[in-house]
Amino acid sequence: MINQKHIKQSLELIKNAKHIVITSHKSPDGDSIGSSLSLHHFLSRMNINSTICHPDEMPYFLQWLNGASQILNFEQHKSEIVEHFKSADLIFCLDYNDPSRVGMLEKFLTESSAKKIMIDHHQNPNTDFFDIIFSDPNNSSTSQLIYEFIEALNKTDLIDENVGTPMYCGIMTDTGSFRFPSTTAKTHLIIAELINKGINNSIIHEKVFDTNTISKLKLTGYALSKKLTLIENNTVGYIALTKEELNQFKYKKGDTEGLVNQILSINGIKLACFLKEENGIIKMSFRAKGDTYVNTLAQKQFFGGGHIYAAGGKYEGSIEDAISKFVTIVGNYV
């Protein structure tokens, strides 16, 4: 949670830092990108330089955000990122609560002697690793926490289009366009304040949700019409796509974004799962609603974690075996 003691400490660290690095979790999404860029632009407004270092490349539907092209990812900028971690004296850890969530950056993060400030909204933070923690699992998004962090610093006057646009984008995507239970009155007040500051909400929605490619739409159609399977008396649904199927539709990172939510939208479905074969492992996305939760399922069964209604995991093996394990044990979580 935001408290003044930690705010004062953070402000001192920011002002005295010579090299600030902003990090976030692997498989970037709207909130991790949005919170990173929002903080980066805010620090710039304070005349403080920072570098964003992420584990992997962002999906194409977020690349329009101002500053996105300056984000370094480990897949393409390994040597640069290594040097930034070596010289960093302050590292912001956004949208993750444990160093294991940053993929190939974990080694450099854990070895760094820099002070580490965590701003995150996932459950059960690793309180032993970070120096300062701003954690609120009930918050809609890390991007909202960035606003509240800036608010606690009494510097909302520095929020302009560059700061506010990625912030809005992060809140919008992590709340499912403001429909998830984590959306509160405070969330809407923040959104109203961003719009009052000139943030173009309709353009952000259009850029994120209305820029589909033909191949993405065909992949979505194929997945829903040919690969959707319902089990557990039609309360659980899943879709699994192999590497060959993804290649068939010229898959690009981001093309399957939101597919698991479409499964969950089916009347009567309590739990949805999307499985994707990628880089020798099976990546899994879980969604739930009502009195069904998926964070425990992801954590205990698939080396993952997340929120009660939205989580992720992985399976090392064949996609057939991943499906078999999911189908076998999912009934215990519905």
Closest CA to 69 of 79, 54, 84, 82: 54
Closest CA to 38 of 163, 122, 176: 163
Give the C-alpha separation, 104 to 3, whole Å: 32
CATH topology of domain 215-333: Diaminopimelate Epimerase; Chain A, domain 1 (3.10.310)
Which pLDDT score, from 0 to 100, does residue 315 have?
Answer: 97
Profile the chain (334 residues) by mean pLDDT over runs of 10 residues.
89 97 96 98 98 96 97 97 98 96 96 98 92 96 98 97 98 95 96 97 96 95 98 97 97 94 97 94 96 95 92 96 98 95
Residue 134: CB partners within 8 Å, gap ≥ 6? 1, 2, 6, 117, 118, 119, 120, 145, 149
Instruction: Compute φ and ψ for 122, nearest 5 degrees.
Output: -95, 155
Closest CA to 61 of 221, 206, 259, 220: 206
Which pLDDT score, from 0 to 100, does residue 248 have?
Answer: 97
Which pLDDT score, from 0 to 100, does residue 1 have?
Answer: 65
In the chain, domain spans: 4-209, 215-333
Instruction: For domain 4-209, give the CATH superfamily.
Output: inorganic pyrophosphatase (n-terminal core) (3.90.1640.10)
